[in-house]
A and B are shown apart, each in its own frame.
Chain A
Amino acid sequence: QKEVEQNSGPLSVPEGAIASLNCTYSDRGSQSFFWYRQYSGKSPELIMSIYSNGDKEDGRFTAQLNKASQYVSLLIRDSQPSDSATYLCAVERDTGRRALTFGSGTRLQVQP
């Protein structure tokens, strides 16, 4: 089992729709969770961080964390073609070195 799992996609949604991206993780002691957006050939760009159970909203983005079920999700409202990118879920594991582990990413395509 991978430590951080994401559906590779592509996830295709029409412009203006809600895109829902999911991520599960295996280390129950994980404390910090992040969503990054990565355009092809570019570096990952931080979108959201979440540390406690529940929802966290920032503009069109909402991160949701459920530690009991070990999943974290990202909702993108009013999706735009410029949101088309690969979204990486990252989890800071509860190890001595507290390393950041990334999922392989979900490719999102927003159709105009």
Chain B
Amino acid sequence: EAQVTQNPRYLITVTGKKLTVTCSQNMNHEYMSWYRQDPGLGLRQIYYSMNVEVTDKGDVPEGYKVSRKEKRNFPLILESPSPNQTSLYFCASSARQGYEQYFGPGTRLTVT
């Protein structure tokens, strides 16, 4: 089954404790992206990657890091999480830019 998976689905952590949210897709997609969704602000892009070893900032990259060492994986790293990063995070992938993006199930992160 073609899908985008994320782990963990739910995470409660404390300020400053490094964490990684994994994202994996099995569709051989070149393009992957991370979004956060907050009430009243909608979905905002954090980082994106056009291919292996090619990543770039989205609209709200501060406080986040990403890497793309393999085509299928695109982890999101929070080196020192803060409460304002409490949000619902989605990973997405598409065959190419301009094509439809398919979303993972989401990761609900709470930073206390």
Q: Give A contacts to B, CB under 8 Å.
A: 31-32, 34, 41-46, 49, 88, 90, 92, 97-105
- Tell me if B98 and A98 are in contact (CB < 8 A): yes
- Binary per-residue interface labels of chain B (84-112) against chain A in the complex, 1 for a CB within 8 Å, 0 otherwise: 00000010000001111111111000000
Residues in B whose Cβ lies below 8 Å from that of A92 = 97-98
- Range class of the B interface residue count: 20 to 34
A102 to B103 Cα, complex, angstroms: 13
- Tell me if B33 and A100 are in contact (CB < 8 A): yes
Residues in B whose Cβ lies below 8 Å from that of A101 = 45, 59
Offer 9 A-B interface pairs, CB within 8 angstroms, sorted by A.
A31-B98, A41-B106, A44-B103, A90-B43, A97-B48, A97-B58, A99-B48, A101-B45, A104-B40
- Tell me if A98 and B97 are in contact (CB < 8 A): yes
Residues in A whose Cβ lies below 8 Å from that of B79 = none
